[in-house]
């Protein structure tokens, strides 16, 4: 994609998500969950240590970071394209919460740190073109350490066709594995 098109797409994404988080409270969005139990189950099952570097991509106003802090995790980062979403999360947690906040478009982001856990709930399915999928995987590869874990929660093959008014790509575990299979030493488990 020519650089100007990439910039325009990023600006459109930014505008869409800022408007959502400026108009809706955290409990009004369709993806709200009080307790991110599936993600926590995966993190706990895999024995992720409390000093692990955890990145929640497209974290929005998710309470995952609250749950991780409550469990003693000390190195958490929330990345989202919407500064409004990150502000809401930051205000909820309070200024003393040890969380790194990264307002960025994942598809143009260049990580300056590496992580033990890449967590994505309901972001990857918003990426519907091969070029953007490639950009997502580039960011994932650049951001994770060898042996890191990635959790991708997407709509299933028979799931909804849209999310936040946007078209989605839906996946079964094998399709996800095939797309992500270029990553080093993948180990796949379907939830």
Ligand X SMILES: C[S@@+](CC[C@H](N)C(=O)[O-])C[C@H]1O[C@@H](n2cnc3c(N)ncnc32)[C@H](O)[C@@H]1O
The CA distance from 130 to 125, in Å, is 12
Q: Which is nearer to ligand X, 51 or 156 (CB)?
A: 156
Helix pair angle (173-180, 130-143), 10° resolution: 70
Does 54 interact with ligand X (rule: CB under 6 A)?
A: no
Q: Which is nearer to ligand X, 138 or 164 (CB)?
A: 164
* Burial grade of 181 (CB within 10 A; 0-12, 13-18, 19 or more): exposed
Q: What is the 3-state secondary structure (H, E, C) of 55-116?
A: EEECCCCCCHHHHHHHCCCCEEEEEECCHHHHHHHHHHHCCCCCEEEEECCCCCCCCCCCEE
171-190 binders of ligand X (CB under 6 A): none
Near ligand X in 80-119, by CB under 6 A = 80-82, 85, 105-107
- Residue 121, interface with ligand X (CB under 6 A)? yes
Nearer to ligand X, 83 or 177 (CB): 83
Q: Which of 42, 53, 54, 58 binds ligand X (CB under 6 A)?
A: 58
> Please, which residue, 11 or 183, has the CB nearer to ligand X?
11
By the rule CB under 6 A, 59 interacts with ligand X: yes
Total binding residues for ligand X by CB under 6 A?
20
- Which among 130, 178, 129 has a CA at the least distance from the CA of 152? 178
Instruction: State the residues that interact with ligand X by CB under 6 A.
Output: 13, 17, 31, 58-60, 62, 80-82, 85, 105-107, 121-123, 126, 163-164
């Amino acid at each position: 994609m020519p650089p100007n098109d990439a910039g325009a797409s990023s600006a459109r994404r930014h505008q869409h998500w800022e408007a959502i988080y400026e108009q809706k409270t955290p409990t009004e969005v369709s993806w709200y969950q009080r307790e991110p139990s599936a993600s926590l189950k995966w993190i706990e099952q895999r024995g992720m240590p409390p000093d692990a570097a955890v990145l929640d991509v497209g974290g929005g106003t998710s309470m995952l970071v609250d749950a991780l802090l409550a469990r003693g995790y000390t190195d958490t980062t929330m990345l989202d394209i919407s500064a409004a979403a990150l502000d809401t999360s930051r205000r909820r947690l309070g200024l003393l919460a040890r969380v790194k906040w990264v307002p960025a478009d994942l598809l143009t982001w260049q990580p300056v740190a590496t992580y033990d856990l890449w967590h994505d709930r309901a972001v990857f399915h918003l990426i519907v073109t091969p070029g953007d999928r490639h950009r997502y995987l580039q960011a994932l590869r650049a951001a994770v350490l060898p042996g890191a874990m990635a959790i991708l929660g997407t709509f299933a093959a028979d799931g909804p066709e849209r999310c936040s008014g946007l078209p989605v790509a839906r996946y079964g575990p094998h399709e996800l594995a095939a797309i992500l299979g270029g990553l080093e030493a993948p180990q796949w488990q379907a939830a």
